[in-house]
Structure 1
Amino acid sequence: MEYFNYNGKTFKEQTAVLQASSRGLRFGDGLFETMKSIHGRLQFTDEHFARLWHGMQVLQFNIPRHFTPDSLQEEIVTLLLKNGHQQMARIRITVFRGDGGLYDAVNHTPNYVIQTWPLPEESGAWNSNGLVLGIYGDVKKSCDVLSNLKHNNFLPYVMAAMHAKNEKWNDAVLLNTSGRICDSTIANIFIIKDDLVSTPALAEGCIAGIMRKNMIQQLAKMNQPVIETELTVDDLLAADEVFLTNSIHHMRWVQAIGNKIYSHARAEKIYNAVFATNL
């Protein structure tokens, strides 16, 4: 039996805790954070909590003084221990507003759920078999104040993920409303062309990924600056190499998008330099 944390209290996984009037349920009024734990140590805690707190401020939550990154981290560690997920685990924190209609929220204090799942030991290792991706164009992401947040209205990614599953892709590439590259359903996208590494700028509507930020910082230290820019579908298909980054898998190379086949020698060198010894 596994457990979850709801507003600081622990419940068995099948316990019903939400009201039908929850704004999180009715409107997707909230956001979430996905973290990784290795041997009981949360990875990139400062960066994850900074992004979560920034998102709550953007969504105009009233954050009480007792609700702090330190208190939330303690609750996460306690839940990991209770669930026996001390080796390697994925943690999801879902924050949402309480009860009320569209114009009459009862209050703006964050409610939250913490969940944990075990991860296989090879999670984050270099993928010897490259990923197969496709481009999903039916639903496009807007570029606005919400675009960089992992908010709970995640329908573009949900639709793209279902399409990827139907097409037997490992992941799908989402486009923004201008038809340019945004991100994938679970990761940020980087391309290598000649000696240049590029990734969509945050203004292009992609999630402000923690591992994206770390990759940019690490490559800068290696005198390999990343160009944050606009990338078209043609840019993606003309690239020599493509790789994805996120907090769970760290970095994975892409073998194919449609009929385009990519190499991975430079991506593997980047992985070995950034992740093989740092994580």
Structure 2
Amino acid sequence: MSSVLFHDGQFFRDDKMLVGAGSRGLRYGDGVFETMKVNRGTIQLGSQHMDRLFAALQLLEFDCPGFFTSGYLLDKIKVLATRNGHASLGRIRLMVYRGNGGLYDPENHYPHHIIQSWALPPANHQWNENGMLLGIHRKAQKAADVLANCKTNNYLPYVMGALEAKRQKWNDALLMNTSGRVCEATIANIFLIQDRRLVTPSLPEGPVAGIMRQYLVRKITEYGYDLSEQPVTEEQLLGADEVFLTNSSYGIRWVGEIGAKKYTSHLTRAIYQEIIQPLFLSPSA
């Protein structure tokens, strides 16, 4: 069965051509996106995703009409996921982009939007028994600027990291910021554990302000774990006892190796069982 997508108020076949050569989204990456999970008919942490999206749209000076609200987008996501048969467990990508025009003369600042959905396998909700293999990408670095915490459509550092990860047969690549410190992975935030103390790069260091990261930082504190948001050096990374990645799709994935360094997963697994599994069972938490 073919899938459909939602674009600017209408449903189309997912192979529909939607933008032309004059699109600022195509020319300049002028826009932002959100990747979300539909779980048991609920958009997991949906309100947090909408808060991040609309903060980014305000930063990028989009002109949102009255109907373009969190409620409108969340409703269309659910309708699309249901139509495509992805409402039980699916991945959503919502992209908002500016329309036609040159750099200094956009036609307008209307938030054109595309919503797509895909099915996720049951393994998405399962603990990864085999630790991930990561490497460090050093060619493209992440600037810790005003855009760094947003998921913008200008994604080239992550593209470069993903190309190297595929070439090197890594599961993901770690990006460094322009100060030479650990920033994040291409599709996830990163946490370290040393002597049962958790550390994650602080937002001024340039990582995307991940929704699962935000959720976990809050929950970890509630559960009494010791957590610090701070700059993270490569030396700290390679000296850690455990490393794990987080994103909205898979929750937590523990890392088994980075280069010659091997990691354990004892505390990471406890955090998964205590915090992430309950979220999967009650996605609106």
Normalised by the shorter chain, which TM-score bucket? over 0.9
User: Any unmatched runs of 5+ in structure 1?
Assistant: none
> 2:99–2:109: 8 Å Cα contact kept in structure 1?
yes
Partner of 2:272: 271
Give the letter aligned to residue 232 of structure 1: T
Dislocated runs of 4+, deviation >4 Å: none
Q: Does residue 1:164 correspond to 2:165, yes or no?
A: yes
Measure how far apart 1:226 and its partner are: 1.5
C-alpha displacement at 1:278, in angstroms? 2.8
Instruction: Write the mapping of 1:28-107 to structure 2, written as runs, cut at 5 A.
Output: 28-107=29-108
Distance 1:14 1:212 in 2: 33
> Unpaired runs of 5+ in structure 2?
281-285
Counterpart position of 2:133? 132
Correspondence for 1:176: 177
Q: Which residue of 1 aligns with 2:283?
A: none
TM-score (norm. length: structure 1): 0.99
- Aligned equivalents of 1:178 and 1:139: distance in 2? 12
Letter in 2 for 1:167: Q
Report matched runs for 1:147-226 at 5 Å: 147-226=148-227
Q: Secondary structure at the match of 1:112?
A: strand
Secondary structure of residue in 1 paired with 2:173: strand
Residues of 2 paired with 1:68 and 1:224: CA distance?
Answer: 36
User: Deviations along 1:211-254, whole A, 9 cap, x unmatched?
Assistant: 00111111101111310001000100000000000000100100
Matches within 5 A, 1:233-244: 233-244=234-245
Distance in 2 between residues matched to 1:114 and 1:277, nearest whole Å: 27
Structure-2-length-normalised TM-score: 0.97
State the AA in 2 paired with 1:129: N
In the TM superposition, residue 40 of structure 1 has moved relative to its aligned partner by: 1.5
Name the SS for the 2:278 alignment partner.
coil
Q: Cα offset for 1:84?
A: 1.3
CA distance in 2, matches of 1:198, 1:81: 38
C-alpha root-mean-square deviation of aligned residues, in Å?
0.8
Cα distance in 2, alignment partners of residues 277 and 139 from structure 1: 37
Cα distance in 2, alignment partners of residues 122 and 41 from structure 1: 18
Separation in 2, partners of 1:259, 1:187: 21
Deviation track 1:114-135 (CA, whole Å, cap 9, x = no partner) reads 0000000121321100000000
Number of residue pairs aligned between Structure 1 and Structure 2: 279
Is contact 1:216–1:225 with CA below 8 Å preserved after alignment?
Answer: no
Task: Give aligned-pair identity as a percent.
Answer: 46
